[in-house]
Amino acid sequence: MTMTIIKTEKLCKTFSSGGIQQHVLKNLDISLQEGDFTIIMGSSGSGKSTLLYAMSGMDKPTLGEIDFAGKNLSRLNNDQLAIFRRNNCGFVFQQIHLLDNMSVLDNVLASGLLGNKNRRQTIHKAKEMLMQVGIDEKAWSKFPTQLSGGEAQRVGIVRALINSPRILFADEPTGALNSASSDSVLDVLTDVNRKGQSIVMVTHDIKTAIRGNRILYLRDGVICGDLQLGGYSEQKNAERHEELKTFLAEMGW
């Protein structure tokens, strides 16, 4: 039986500037299931990143409730939210933001050793996870500038997952990568999702989106489409592609 991990009720986000209000998210009622690889699509400016930031506690909603694994995020202050994010959320973005003056391994450990962690176990876990994403021992002492974009993003994913977050939030994680690097990153995301990691990802790209099992389509701050695609399988790649393209055409994408 699947479990709801995030539930929003009448979630609204309004930005105000120069006396003008922009209602970016409008009364969203969304349920996300644990173990899902949920994709958020929609045209530019439809509110995808704003929704990702609200659901992950990176930003506060203007109105409405967000229940994240039984915790009401709307009731937390900024310090409580920061602790909640550290314990429950992993993030990967288009810009990778590894620390240039630290080695690959130290970049992962900088996150992994936050809090009261056992150093030896954390180092072991970091090395094991780096191996799993194809970053072998030779690369552990390299600096981020010595990595390809795809390698750097795979290190970024390990850094995001080192504290075993409930959800990995990804905002266009392959947006800056070439096709081969992008595939290597998507393979890692598919693999960790198959092992049970819940993922919520924003993307514009169909090839990226078919990795998900559920596609939410946002238009002008409202969810107007919800497609269940089933789990990713390479054999059914072409069929999934067609199904998603048809759905997006119906959405007016």
Ligand X SMILES: Nc1ncnc2c1ncn2[C@@H]1O[C@H](COP(=O)(O)OP(=O)(O)OP(=O)(O)O)[C@@H](O)[C@H]1O
d(CA 12, CA 217): 16
DSSP 61: -
Judged by CB under 6 A, the stretch of 14-22, 87-95, 147-155, 186-194 that binds ligand X is 14-22
User: Residue 64 interacts with ligand X (CB under 6 A)?
Assistant: no
Site residues for ligand X, 25-44, by CB under 6 A, read 42, 44
Cβ-contact 168, 188 below 8 angstroms = no
Q: Strand 20-33 to strand 222-228: parallel, antiparallel, or no bridges (unpaired)?
A: unpaired
d(CA 184, CA 243): 23
3-class secondary-structure state, position 215: strand
Query: Cα-Cα-Cα-Cα dihedral of 227, 233, 236, 239, to 10°?
Result: 20
Residue of 32, 47, 108, 184 interacting with ligand X (CB under 6 A): 47
The residue (of 56 and 107) whose beta carbon lies closer to ligand X is 56
User: Residue 173 interacts with ligand X (CB under 6 A)?
Assistant: no
Residue of 8, 38, 50, 182 interacting with ligand X (CB under 6 A): 50
Cβ-contact 65, 74 below 8 angstroms = yes
Residue of 15, 95, 191, 194 interacting with ligand X (CB under 6 A): 15
The residue (of 62 and 74) whose beta carbon lies closer to ligand X is 62
Minimum CB distance to ligand X, residue 44 (Å): 3
User: Residue 49 interacts with ligand X (CB under 6 A)?
Assistant: yes
User: Residue 252 interacts with ligand X (CB under 6 A)?
Assistant: no
User: Residue 181 interacts with ligand X (CB under 6 A)?
Assistant: no
Could you give phi then psi for residue 62, rounded to 5 degrees? -75, -40
Judged by CB under 6 A, the stretch of 47-55, 118-126, 158-166, 242-250 that binds ligand X is 47-55
Distances (CA, A) of 252 to 44, 74, 146, 208, 249: 13, 33, 42, 19, 5
The residue (of 50 and 213) whose beta carbon lies closer to ligand X is 50
x/- mask, ligand X, residues 93-122, rule CB under 6 A, reads ------------------------------
d(CA 120, CA 11): 42
- Contact footprint for ligand X (CB under 6 A): 15, 17, 22, 24, 42, 44-50
